[in-house]
Amino acid sequence: MLDRTSGPDTSSSGDPLSDLLMGMRLRGASYGKLSFSPPFGVAFARSDHARFHFVAHGEALLRTADGDVLSISSGDAVLFPRGEPHALISSKEVRTRPYEEFETVPLCSGVCAIEARSAETCRTKDVLIFTASMEFELGTMHPLIELMPPFLFVCSLLGRQPEIRPLLEAMEREMTEERVGSAGILARLADVVAASVVRGWVERGCGNATGWVAALRDERLGRVLAALHREPGRDWTLAEMAATMGCSRSVFAERFAAATGTTPLRYLSALRMRLASEWIGRERMPIDLVARRLGYRSQAAFSRAYRRLTGHPPGQARRLNGQRG
């Protein structure tokens, strides 16, 4: 995905969306084992990261940013792909407390425990939740994440993806039995379940998503988008893109703009800058190497393009990523 800038691509499955999905990764940034006894209320602020919750024991209510209140019980899991604000509460009337304000106990690298229990409450009434803050290693997939709903429940996928159920059962055992090394195993299981949620949403047709997804589902237009994502550093012209689609430049430009809301060359520029931000910020790749991979003749030309589209110089991507981490 990173640098296929010459030669034919033989890896395509014939489905552009599936091909691009292969380039996406979901990586846990931090995890928490929560043990609460009613009444409780924990608020999760808006975040640049996705947020995942799995209920291993007991019941809770999930209050969304829109004020909707949904029940979530033992064996349920939910993913917030864009880190929308929400709260886990024991009842509608309870006051919430920011997640960051709870006292934590480190368990292993990246995993902590949080306990908020009433002294008189029996432990069998505790609500056990495993939560994770996750980073999408987006690569070229950023438009897909923007089209996802605010949250996705795992239970809606079990009929189509029965392989998720054993993963959830394993998470439940690790949470309730507290075996040696359980924290690390829970973290890995959470990563797999959350990635399966994204895949399940894609396989179900991406819900009612239109625009970019519809363009990928269009056999002819999808070929162009997939080619741009596979070879972002190629010196693309409008004529070459139109030829890939098999139509005139005017027809291609009109169809592309109608589906994506932007022109082909602007789309390509935005794609390159998303990749550049990830490579510089997360992968610590040298700026001159990023410039070459993305087809710029010089680092100066790349830096001007990057500043024009993002509003800041390329080096700031590294500093911004360090602040988020």
Structure tokens at 12: 């395509």
For the chain, how many residues are written? 325
In the chain, which segments carry CATH 2.60.120.280?
Answer: 20-203
Q: What pLDDT is stored for residue 275 in this prediction? A: 87
Domain with CATH 1.10.10.60 in the chain: 210-324
Q: What integer pLDDT is reported at residue 22 of this predicted model? A: 56
Q: How far apart are CA 41 and CA 89, in angstroms?
A: 4
Nearest to 149 by CA among 206, 216, 195, 97: 206
Q: Tell which CATH architecture fits domain 210-324.
A: Orthogonal Bundle (1.10)
Half-sphere exposure of 218 (CA within 13 A, CB side): 18
Digit-coded pLDDT (tens) for 4-63: 333 334 344 456 666 666 556 677 789 999 999 999 999 999 998 899 999 999 999 999
Tens-level pLDDT at each residue, the chain (325 residues)? 233 333 334 344 456 666 666 556 677 789 999 999 999 999 999 998 899 999 999 999 999 999 999 999 999 999 999 899 999 999 999 999 999 999 999 988 889 999 987 655 556 678 999 999 988 765 555 667 777 889 999 887 777 888 889 999 999 999 888 788 888 899 999 988 888 888 777 777 676 666 677 777 778 888 898 888 889 999 999 999 999 999 999 999 999 998 888 899 999 998 899 889 888 987 889 999 999 999 999 999 999 999 998 888 988 877 766 544 4
Rounded distance, CA 310 to CA 294, Å? Answer: 16
**pLDDT attached to residue 325:** 44
The first and second tokens of residue 299, run together, are 């680092």
Q: How far apart are CA 82 and CA 105, in angstroms?
A: 27
Q: Which CATH superfamily is domain 20-203 in?
A: Regulatory protein AraC (2.60.120.280)
Q: What is the Cα–Cα distance from 318 to 325, expressed in whole angstroms?
A: 11
Tell me if the pTM is above 0.75: no
Query: Coil, strand, or helix at residue 31?
Result: strand
